Amino acid sequence: MSAKQQANSHQVELTFKRFYERFKTEHSTLQQHLQFAEPFMTPAEQEQLTTLLLNRLMVLYFMQHQRLLDNDPDYLTHHLYQSQQYDDPTLFYRQVLQTTSTTLIQDSMHPILMLSKKIFTQHAIEARYPQLAIPNSAFSRLFAFFDCYTWYLEKPPGRIDGVLTPDILGYIFEQSANQQQMGAYYTREDVTDYIVSNTILPFYLEMLNRQCPELFMSNSACWQLLQDQPERYIQASVRTQEYLPGETMYDYAQRQQRYQKLYAALRAGSIHSIDDLITENLNLCHLTCDLLTSLTEQTTLQCCYEQLTHLTILDPTCGTGAFLLAALNILLPLYETCLARQYYLSCNAQTCTVPEEGVASTATQINARRINQRYHSLKTILTNNLYGVDIMQEAIEICQLRLLLKLIAQVQEIGALETLPELEQTIQTGNALLPLLFIPTSTATKATKTEVLANEELFDWHTAFPKVFAQGGFSVIIGNPPYVEHTHQSWIYSLQHFTTYRCANLYTCVVERSRQLLAPYGRSGMILPLAAFATKNMHTFLTAFRHWFPVSWISFYHFRPSMLFSGGKTASIPTAVFLGKIEGREQRFSTHLLKWSSEQRPHLFKLLNYSKVTAPLDPANTHYYPKFGDPCENSILTKVLAQEVVGTYLTRRPDQEVRDNTMYYRSAGGLYWKIFINFPWPYHTTSNKQCYFRTGYDRDVFVALFNSSLFWWYYTVTFDSFNLKDYMLFGFHFSYPDDPECIQQLRTYSQQLMEDFQRYGKHLKRGSTGSYTIYARKSKAIIDAIDRTLAQHYGMDEDELEFILKYDLKYRLGLLPNTNEKE
């Protein structure tokens, strides 16, 4: 997705937000009509039926805009008008929306008949209230609202304001879902596109490498493309000569230097492995399509096509299908490129062979009048490549609808519509985490157990997808698993069959289950809370993750000024995107903790810059995956880890002498600075903390240490950027200096810093309570002096010191507008 496409995507999301705000009102209004029409219906039933009816109407709106309903773009409005000519005030509902008598499916060739299982199958709630009747007036108001927007089955070129696509179905569901219970967040297209591109395409290239190794030998087609046209595969956001939004002179110089270095490496042929393509964040879609276009042998093309059809891609908690739709959009150009190239070679060879199956039968023009090539490709993808599971039946229904609407969008007239694929075999309702034998917890109530057993089928993966496991498992597993905390005592089913269940969050179990389902050479990519790679309670998960995925790339994302998740429901969650490969020599790659404003979002994933992690594991702190974006950070961390942990110098039983050796800090707050002082906080808060240093170890030395940019860097690269717990603080490595001059310098700078803090600090009284704010950014010169002293203590060179002094500077000093923006 280009930066322009991402900007358009953001505009579409704004339209979705606007639509959803009014939609909630219309939902409530229609629900009130149900309450009046059927007073014995419970509120939950009213909610369920209202949602069902609105989903049906929205699908029909997309269909009528495509002129697939009697070639009438206002089909529903016209039917409503006709209904209003009769005395029956509820005729429209009974004739058009009620499943047992709808007039839409009388024509056996009508596309609605083909979708009837999805949108007109009678639900249990409808069967319970067969006499329900909704007045025509309810639909007049609703259609007036719907008509304020333009409904497209696919995004139209150009105009985007006021445009709705079937993605709105997923957006509404995820905004309406119980986020605390289901842990679902709306995932934007740039996230899904990045993950699917960098899992599916590398896996496919490796498949080709195993089947057609000549394509990947030295100086072969793939690597020659990179050498001949490096600028085509370097992201446009990296190579542009213009300043990007929010880019400082330093940022610009760093980006240009990176571009020149990458360009030279491609020209020289230094990048010659599939994993390198991920590390350098190259345009994999361009490269893969260009590789297919460069092929000159029919047999090789046939092999490439067959390998495409063997790809199996799973989202184990697929929700309404955001990742599966992204996967479809990645696969489609590969199919089309294969078919177009095959047709070109066939024409040049003047051949007209028509095998029973495969590329040639589709590529030739024998059946061109009957078969739409894109329709055929999409149908093949839906039939062979995409798999999804979700615990919520409503989400699965929407997912299936969105995929089928993508297929129907290719049809311009009813006669061209072929039989739609049955997605019930590939997109299924089920609990991805249940073991083969359901084991309810002893504390769950009898009613709860019965309800779960009634509503959640025991899901067996091998039975559900036998063809996939006959091939060894899924090729690629992607998704955004639920972020839901649990305890063994309170959860309604057992998770003890997972090694990560003690981490007490469902997403760790989803990743573990995904690893169990991957085929040999499989790849996975998901978005998780950043805490998965930076907190002590996730130690079991991270240890297992390193074992499951010996090769991994992790990019890290803050939640300020903006966050990856957005929409009507958001949460201040720092996140991480991992890409994992289950085979290979151990290699770890990471990025900085990324921060951005909303105007920078279109360039965020294009500018990802991975750095190889070579620093050793910290035996005292094994809970983190370092957030490095520069090679020098490996040497900095190595030098830090060579020293003692600060906890060595603490005491928990202070006498009066030790009480005078106290450092004060806060365990919460401080998005850009963590503040440490040698005087008590003037106001009480629950986050106020203090610690005592043993006699002979001056607390002012530690006050200077923890206020340094070095500690801020360490905290950022090793923890979750959200909390400041004791293990995060006292696990830092710092051997108390033997050099009296070093000690005296740190004491002096600490005293100067405390004077500065008090000079610029602000008291704010609120009734009987108050707050005290310290502005550390005003004291950067003193903090820099502390870091210069610490650099000598740790043995850093000039480049390492320069890196620390400038680390995260534009956000810490507030050099950018909207630094405190919350998207």
**Would you say residue 557 has pLDDT above 60?**
yes
Question: Rounded to two decimals, what is the model's pTM?
Answer: 0.91
Give 266-321 pLDDT, tens digit per residue: 999 999 999 999 999 999 999 999 999 999 999 999 999 999 999 999 999 999 99
Q: Residue 433 — pLDDT band, cuts 50, 70, 90?
A: very high
Nearest to 461 by CA among 387, 401, 394: 387
Residue 101 pLDDT class (50, 70, 90 cuts): very low
For residue 571, pLDDT over 70 is answered with no
Q: Is the pLDDT of residue 151 over 90?
A: yes
CB 222 within 8 A of CB 300: no
pLDDT of amino acid 363? 45
Identify the residue whose tokens are 């005292």.
Answer: 620
- Lowest mean pLDDT of 194-203, 403-412, 433-442, 454-463, name the range: 433-442
Residue 439 binned pLDDT confidence (cut-offs 50, 70, 90): very low
How high is the pLDDT of residue 440? 45
Residue 774: predicted pLDDT = 94
Indicate the range of 133-137, 145-149, 672-676 predicted with least confidence.
133-137
pLDDT beyond 70 at 814: yes
Residue 159's pLDDT is what? Answer: 67
Give the pLDDT confidence score for residue 435 in this predicted structure.
78
pLDDT at 370: 40
pLDDT, tens digit (0-9, with 9 covering 90-100), for 162-191: 999 999 999 999 888 755 556 567 789 999
Which amino acid is present at 305? Y
CA-nearest of 300, 280, 291 to 228 is 291
Q: Summarize pLDDT for 766-790 with one digit per residue, the tens.
A: 777 888 999 999 999 999 999 999 9
Q: Where do we find the tokens 């002893």?
A: 442
pLDDT in tens, 656-701: 777 789 999 999 888 899 999 999 999 988 899 999 999 999 999 9
pLDDT digits (tens, 9 = 90+) for 631-646: 999 999 999 999 999 9
- Backbone phi and psi for residue 429, each to the nearest 5 degrees, phi listed first: -85, 130
Q: Do the strands 575-581 and 518-529 form a parallel or antiparallel pair, or are they unpaired?
A: antiparallel
Residue 760: what pLDDT?
95
**Confidence check: pLDDT of 620 > 70:** yes
pLDDT tens-place string over residues 338-395: 999 998 898 887 544 444 455 545 444 544 434 478 999 999 999 999 999 999 988 9
Residue 719 has pLDDT above 90, yes or no: yes
**For helices 189-211 and 3-37, angle between their N-to-C axes, nearest 10 degrees:** 120
Identify the pLDDT of residue 755.
98
| pLDDT of the residue at 184 | 63
Per-residue confidence (pLDDT) for residue 386, from 0 to 100: 99
3-state secondary structure of 732: coil
Cα–Cα distance for residue pair 386/340, rounded to 1 Å: 23
Res 415: pLDDT: 61
Give the whole-angstrom CA distance, residue 434 versus residue 640: 44
Query: In whole angstroms, what is the distance from residue 737 CA to residue 671 CA?
Result: 30
- Are the CB atoms for 307 and 521 separated by under 8 Å? no
Give the Å distances, CA to CA, from 308 to 305, 313, 339, 388, 774.
5, 11, 12, 18, 58
Averaged confidence pLDDT in the chain? 88
What residues are paired with 650 via a beta bridge? 693
250 vs 572, more confident: 250
In this structure, the strands spanning 575-581 and 551-557 are antiparallel
| Confidence (pLDDT) at 801 | 99
